[in-house]
Amino acid sequence: MANIYESRDEEIHALLNRASAGTGATVVIPDLQRPYVWEPNQVILLVDSLIRGWPFGTLLMWKVDHKELQGIPHREFWQVVDKRTEGKGSTMIRKDPPAQYHMVLDGQQRLQSLLLALGGDGWGFKLEDRDWLEQLEGIRPRGRKPKYPHWTKGTLCFDVEAFHKAYLVAKDVIGIDYRNVLRWAVTDSANGQSTWAKPDNYRQPLEKAFMAANKGRFIRLSRLWSEVPPNANIKEKQFREIAEDLLKEHEVAAEVGAKVLEPMGELMSTLRDVKLSKITFLELRPYDKNLWSEDEYNDAIVNIFTRLNTAGRTLTREEITFAWLKVGWDDTATSGNTAGKCFESLLEAIRGKGLPIEMDDLVRAVSFIWAVAHHNGVLLSDKDLLKGDTVKPMAHDLAAGWTDIVRTIEALLDTAKDRGLKYGQAGQYDSLNAVNVLWCWAYQARRWLTKNPQKVKGDDAYEKRVAELLEERMDRWLICSQWAGKWGSSSGAALVGYAKDLHSDGQKLAATTDAAAALTIIADRITALTDGVIKDAVQYVQAHIVSLREQVSRYNRLLWVWHRLDAARWKMSSVPLRSGRRQDIELEVDHNVAHALWEGKVKATAPKDDEEAQELIQEINRLGNCSLLEKNFNLSKSDKTLRAFLADVYEFKSAKLKLDDWAKALVLGPEFLDPDKFTLKEIEEAIKNREETMRKEIVEFAQGARQRQDLQPAAPAADGKK
């Protein structure tokens, strides 16, 4: 593939003019870029560096024509950065779109900062007064933040008096620290500040350039910049003439003007050199069919986007997708809420229901739903992210179905919570892909009902049956699809297959208005999902073995299921065994026969073969010797028996529970309670028998032949009373 970029440069004044032209800016920003984050002080530092002749750094820009520009969401540079709205603000009004553009992929912060300082009279920052004081003076106002905080719009100005004093010390303009000369000030007397009433002792964060006390003191930096011709042939004497007119225009006192005229000419000469200095940038070339295929080019551009360092991290495909959603969203379908607001609200609700995902995860999930429902079951590829005709409809489709998407996701998470299913390494599942597939299945069920509303009783019956199907299969899908290894390195291929199958269901659902037929389609799919992972899940259950004591936590999910498969067992398992005063019991995998006790027995028998002894020691870590017990028991680290530990448990000491009943329910014979009374072979045989029982029951769960008993309603008494 031919080199996709080449090195170029452009004079600073020309680049800034192209970025700020109100009649048609030709330098724009992809909307997927992070927001503008620099603060007013950083802008002054950048200008100071330029005047001193320090390097500006290299930019990365993408050259596109007008048609190609539609390939990705973009915006113009901000004219006013409003820090009260997360760095957003107002832009210039474009009238005549030009033929070619440069999109700034890296360097947005620096270019935007120069524009705020030099772009024009109305450019600058709008901050709350509290933030201005903290930024410029390091003062954090005390007290509670007011309901209607005062704000001020600041424009970067050149302080003539401060410049004169600094020049007397430095003797030349390069030696001046312009942090002491450049000032953010209010230049708009009509709209430069909030108009709510202020107390007499209110501290203004910025000086007002238009006040009588400041007459002749402040010159907008953009005016000083614009008065400097980018002409290498102009001499310093001519600059002094330009400066003289500028000082008179701003009513600088004659005696002050006379003192600063010479250094002002020197400064203007320096600014001319800055204007003519060149900024280097790498330019990504526009698409050329003679050099690349369209797919090669698009893949390269997307990879460049996703590999850019953005706020210390890489940009993701989901952020590009989300940018499309934001610009194409139909907020009339979502009660006036933007895509950003809709996604943020849903993300907050999801986290509140126990699923701690990130925005990228949500965008990926919703993209999957859209691909199934509206994109023929074909997932978005990298090249699609630069095709407006492919991705742009996505925003409209999702906005139209947003209510159903939200209700589906929230309802499914409520069901998961009710069933005790938690996400994460310490939970029962940790694959969001499995969740996405289930969300999509449930969305299709809800979408059918939205398009085919039934009578009240019919709606209730339909929704009740879908809920039953979810409760019957949810646990097995989320847990067993992971046991089956569906979400490992080949998860992409698995998702492609599920997307196609779900899309096929969507076509069948669209072809029927009969609720019974729709429910059959929906039931068949979730049955196929769970049945499709049985074989591999069973193999996992039968083969999953841990040899090291420190790793027995890997049995957690197997044990979590097993403890819930028998009513008597769950009755005993669900009783918190408190060995202390703590009310909140945290369970984790622990040994029934303590590791140290077993190791001592092995050493006491002194097998001649060290390898045989090590194998015997590892046997104690098998599933058959493990249970979910209170975290602070620490059986595995002791050499005490299980009976000795349980003797201190309140429930047994108070006779609320019988130890024999508890042990029987957990399939723990005397070899586990009193291992000091049995031989190695007898204990090993007991572990083997218990493990066979456990694995058999867990396999039956994976096959659907055995159900959880912890959620089953209690059987009524013989006389019909509860």
Distance CA 387, CA 318 (A): 15
620 CB-near residues (< 8 Å, 6+ apart): 549, 591, 593, 595, 598, 599, 687
The pLDDT value given to residue 30: 80
The pLDDT value given to residue 93: 43
The pLDDT value given to residue 578: 66
Tracing tokens 């009339």 back to the chain, one arrives at: 332
The pLDDT value given to residue 588: 86
The pLDDT value given to residue 712: 62
Nearest CA among 353, 389, 371 for reference residue 444: 371
Distance of CA 539 to the CA centre of its chain: 35
Taking 50 as the pLDDT cut, the residues of the chain under it are 92-96, 311-312, 714-722
pTM of the shown model = 0.72
The pLDDT value given to residue 21: 72
Distance CA 440, CA 366 (A): 9
Give the strands of the sheet with 27-30, arranged side by side.
5-11, 278-284, 59-65, 100-106, 27-30, 74-75
The pLDDT value given to residue 141: 67
Q: Quick one: 185 exposed, middle or buried, by C-beta within 10 A (0-12, 13-18, 19+)?
A: buried
Please provide residue 628's backbone torsions phi and psi, each rounded to the nearest 5 degrees.
Answer: -90, 110
The pLDDT value given to residue 717: 41
Please provide residue 538's backbone torsions phi and psi, each rounded to the nearest 5 degrees.
Answer: -60, -45
